[in-house]
Chain A
Amino acid sequence: QTVVTQEPSLTVSPGGTVTLTCASSTGAVTSGYYPNWFQQKPGQAPRALIYSTSNKHSWTPARFSGSLLGGKAALTLSGVQPEDEADYYCLLYYGGTWVFGGGTKLTVL
């Protein structure tokens, strides 16, 4: 049973910077896991933000960036806005199956 682990919750001040991480129980996350990141606000469907580690969709705000950091996938928000308060999920590919992380609840306070 593969487990993908994210921080359950993080708090950041408006205008600040925060990094969310995504770890795999199988070992270091590499580009071959094609990390994706999604944002979900209460009562809404998820929205894709990042694919294949660091690629942004056309609608992804510039303040969001993806990377690999210390054996994990990472999502960094720079210059956080109040509207960034949401749940964030990572998704990793395991050769024909995909596993979501448990999600990080980001509070902007």
Chain B
Amino acid sequence: EVQLLESGGGLVQPGGSLRLSCAASGFTFSSYAMSWVRQAPGEGLEWVSAISGNGGSTYHADSVKGRFTISRDNSKNTLYLQMNSLKAEDTAVYYCAKSGPPMAVRLADYWGQGTLVAVSS
């Protein structure tokens, strides 16, 4: 059974940093691309970042480019999202998602339960 467990969310001041983690189990982690998707309170879904199975290719939405970095440690079956220069508009529940092959076709087959990031002074 595919399981995705996000952690690392919390309250952070504007301009601050936070690193989210997503522990994966139930599948061969290194064989699948992974993504982060966020949802601001009461709003819709927004794709944030994606990474290939071997970590060699990464993709970021324009809204986070230059501030967020997606990465993975396949030896630890863990996905990360390093978030710097956080803004109030980054406040959201952040979901990690497992892609089906190929990533372009099936970005998010399975989803975690999400972790809340709140950016406020």
Contact = CB atoms under 8 A, between A and B. Distances in A.
Interface of A: 1, 34, 36, 38, 40, 45-48, 51-52, 57, 87, 89, 91, 93, 96-103
Contacts, number: 62
Given A51-B100, A97-B59, A97-B61, A46 B45 contact: yes
A-side interface mostly: strand
A45 B61 contact: no
Interface residues of B, number: 23
Given A93-B104, A98-B50, A48 B110 contact: yes
17 contacts: A1-B62, A34-B104, A36-B108, A45-B114, A46-B37, A48-B111, A51-B100, A51-B105, A51-B109, A57-B109, A89-B44, A91-B47, A93-B105, A93-B107, A98-B50, A100-B44, A103-B45
